[in-house]
């Protein structure tokens, strides 16, 4: 089947979306497409069936409940030092869930899952509402992707906290097409939850003489200061810095892109040169010949990623070429780059990509987006095969079996390919935006 470069134009004025000023993007006045009651009911039914499948998958391996038990220890006070590696705002959902339990892990686990499914359902409802969508076809595409993505991802979708910042970032991406200033506040909230969304703020920059740049970044800064002050008052200044200190202590986690050649080498090595151990960073890391080089390479790529974000902001500021489509493509490319460059690739990181790509299918359904969305769903399945079903195979060298390491190599190679595609997508949108301003 041939995927069209973009879906048909259903509004006579739609071609002007990409060149409109960010100050006016929320007032485009396009008619919002609506799904029929029958189609909406079918999609909600498919969502429900897919979530039943998701819950079935989560029950097949108890390994994944370990994180929820860890959250419980932290929020219940049984382990006061637990979760200090998480930003304070990031653990608020875990505390909120605990508030509605009787203080037992037996209640905490299902209610934690229920809270994730509630956020999931709210986001699905936002997609179905179709704000700024060009047609009902794009709403259906976005909805179907989201329906498939959760069971493809598996237990980490509802057993980790990463769904919260991922959905907030996706809503920030949606706000680029309605109220860009709101994106700044949403990115600040997401940053205080998980740190990495701060890299997306370069996508808020338009012309250096454009009021919208300062409004969006102002809302980001103001929201960040307010949330930071709240954390400092309630938990002390050290609670603001503890997640950053934790990042400095990390080695090369076994699932990271940079660790892949060394994990493969370990699978072929029987001399004891490599070892996998559970580090103080609370993750499994690999040690052995060349690992230090891998760490340096990861750091270098991360620095280049930051520089690429700065370069994007400078071009947008100089050329006054901001468009919501270009900014959305930047969000997507930057998330891929952050995952690729990171010395850690925890199983739940795939969750970061699903919501923003669903929004892209809704608002900018070009061929790049279809390929990325399909690719991420496939990568999510690979990640689920690795964790939890074959993760224990890779924890002792020599590895107990080959399935886990084979899938790890395939998954990470696929991520590299998708990162290149995402960067090509962002570059093409940047060129188009600059050309339209010239």
Distances, alpha carbon 334 to alpha carbons 22, 148, 160, 330, in Å: 21, 23, 22, 6
CA–CA distance, 108 with 111 (Å, rounded to integer)? 5
Q: Is 239 helix (H, G, I), strand (E, B) or coil?
A: helix
At 19 the pLDDT is: 43
Helices (H), 130-250: 136-153, 156-159, 163-175, 180-194, 211-235, 238-248
Torsions phi, psi for 276 (to 5 deg): -115, 130
At 27 the pLDDT is: 38
pTM: 0.92
The mean pLDDT values, 10 residues at a time, for the chain of 438 residues are 38 37 46 80 98 96 91 94 92 96 94 98 96 89 98 97 98 95 97 97 91 93 96 89 78 96 93 92 93 96 97 95 96 98 96 98 97 98 96 93 96 98 98 89
At 31 the pLDDT is: 58
CA–CA distance, 159 with 43 (Å, rounded to integer)? 24
User: Beta-carbon neighbour count of residue 237 at 10 Å?
Assistant: 11
């Amino acid at each position: 089947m041939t995927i069209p470069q973009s879906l048909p134009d259903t509004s006579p004025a739609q071609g002007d979306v990409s060149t409109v000023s960010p100050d006016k993007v929320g007032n485009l006045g396009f008619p919002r497409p609506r799904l029929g009651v029958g189609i909406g009911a079918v999609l909600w039914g498919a969502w429900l069936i897919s979530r039943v499948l998701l819950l079935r998958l989560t029950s097949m391996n108890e390994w994944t409940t370990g994180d929820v038990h860890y959250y419980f220890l932290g929020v219940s006070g049984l382990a006061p030092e637990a979760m200090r590696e998480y930003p304070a705002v990031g653990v608020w959902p875990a505390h909120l869930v605990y508030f509605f339990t009787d203080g037992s892990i037996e209640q905490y686990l299902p209610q934690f899952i229920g809270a994730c499914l509630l956020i999931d359902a709210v986001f699905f409802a936002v997609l179905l509402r179709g704000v700024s969508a060009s047609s009902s076809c794009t709403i259906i595409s976005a909805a179907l992707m989201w329906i498939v993505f959760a069971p493809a991802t598996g237990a980490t979708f509802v057993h980790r906290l990463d769904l919260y910042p991922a959905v907030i970032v996706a809503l920030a991406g949606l706000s680029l097409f309605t109220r860009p200033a709101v994106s700044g506040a949403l990115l600040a909230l997401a940053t205080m939850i998980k740190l990495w969304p701060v890299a997306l703020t370069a996508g808020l920059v338009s012309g250096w003489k454009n009021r919208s740049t300062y409004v969006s970044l102002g809302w980001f800064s103001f929201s960040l200061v307010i949330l930071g002050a709240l954390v400092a008052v309630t938990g002390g200044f050290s609670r603001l810095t503890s997640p950053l200190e934790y990042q400095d202590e990390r080695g090369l986690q076994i699932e990271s892109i940079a660790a892949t050649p060394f994990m493969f080498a370990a699978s072929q090595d029987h001399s004891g040169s490599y070892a996998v151990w559970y580090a103080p960073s609370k993750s499994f890391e690999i040690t052995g010949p060349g690992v230090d080089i891998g760490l340096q390479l990861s750091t270098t790529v991360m620095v280049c990623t930051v520089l690429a974000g700065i370069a994007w902001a400078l071009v947008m500021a100089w050329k006054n070429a901001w468009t919501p489509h270009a900014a959305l493509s930047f969000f997507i490319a930057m998330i891929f780059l952050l995952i690729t460059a990171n010395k850690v690739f925890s199983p739940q990181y795939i969750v970061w990509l699903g919501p923003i790509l669903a929004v892209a299918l809704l608002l900018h359904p070009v061929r790049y987006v279809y390929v990325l969305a399909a690719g991420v769903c496939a990568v999510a399945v690979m990640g689920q095969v690795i964790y939890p079903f074959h993760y224990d195979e890779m924890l002792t060298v020599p590895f107990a079996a080959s399935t886990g390491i084979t899938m790890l190599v395939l998954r990470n190679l696929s991520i590299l390919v998708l990162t290149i595609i995402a960067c090509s997508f962002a570059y093409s949108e940047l060129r188009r935006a600059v050309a339209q301003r010239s």
